[in-house]
Structure formats: C-alpha cells, structure tokens
Amino acid sequence: NAGVTQTPKFRILKIGQSMTLQCTQDMNHNYMYWYRQDPGMGLKLIYYSVGAGITDKGEVPNGYNVSRSTTEDFPLRLELAAPSQTSVYFCASSKEGTNEKLFFGSGTQLSVL
C-alpha cells in the first residue's frame, strides 16, 4: 500500500538548471497538490489539480509548471532554478470534495546553489 510516492528524495541544482519532481498516488484520488515548506513559514500551495487534464494555480505558482495527464501522476517542473526555490516540496492527494484529509508524500528536499 504505497500511498503517495515522491522522487527524488534529495536533489542539488545549479542556478538555471531544470528538473522535474515526480509524484504518483495509487489511491485513485482525483485531487492532487504540490506544496513547498520553508523553515518557519508553513506549507504554501504551488499548484493543484482536480482531475486529469485540469490544473490550477495556488498561492505561489511563479517559477513552476505542472501537468496532469493521468489520475495517478502529477509532476512538478522547475524550468530555471533559482536560490529562492530552495525548499522541501510535498505532493499530496485527497478524495474528491473532502480535501481536509490530505495524504502527503515524504517530500523532496531541493537545494539550488
């Protein structure tokens, strides 16, 4: 019973590089989310999706892109990495209409140097 799986767990990028953070869930949840967590700042929503083919911006979308071609997968793309994107990234999913119970992955720690 895997739940929400994120890869990689750790990554160091140079300024200007690109990468994709992978997220997959096996619970058949329609709703998926990407959050970033900075020390002392709580979780900030980057993008979310209510189903395959549908995505929407959250509170801090600048510098990121997402796609949702299947129910299971919700990758997050960083095109031109900047030091301000150094953070821990969490992917989450929930059942339709009840986003109180978010199921989180174990996170990706990203450093941009």
Partner 1 sequence: QKEVEQDPGPLSVPEGAIVSLNCTYSNSAFQYFMWYRQYSRKGPELLMYTYSSGNKEDGRFTAQVDKSSKYISLFIRDSQPSDSATYLCAMRPGSARQLTFGSGTQLTVLP
Which residue from 34, 46, 48, 76 is in contact with partner 1, where contact means CB under 8 A?
48
Burial class (CB in 10 A: 0-12, 13-18, 19+), 80: exposed
DSSP state of 47: E
The yes or no reply on residue 58 touching partner 1 (CB under 8 A) is yes
HSE-up of residue 63 (Cα within 13 Å, Cβ side):
15
Is there a contact between 81 and 19 (Cβ–Cβ < 8 Å)?
yes
Beta carbon of residue 105, minimum distance to partner 1 (angstroms, whole number): 5
The yes or no reply on residue 34 touching partner 1 (CB under 8 A) is no
The yes or no reply on residue 46 touching partner 1 (CB under 8 A) is no
Binding residues for partner 1, rule: CB under 8 A, are 4, 31, 40-45, 48, 50, 58-59, 90, 92, 99-102, 104-107
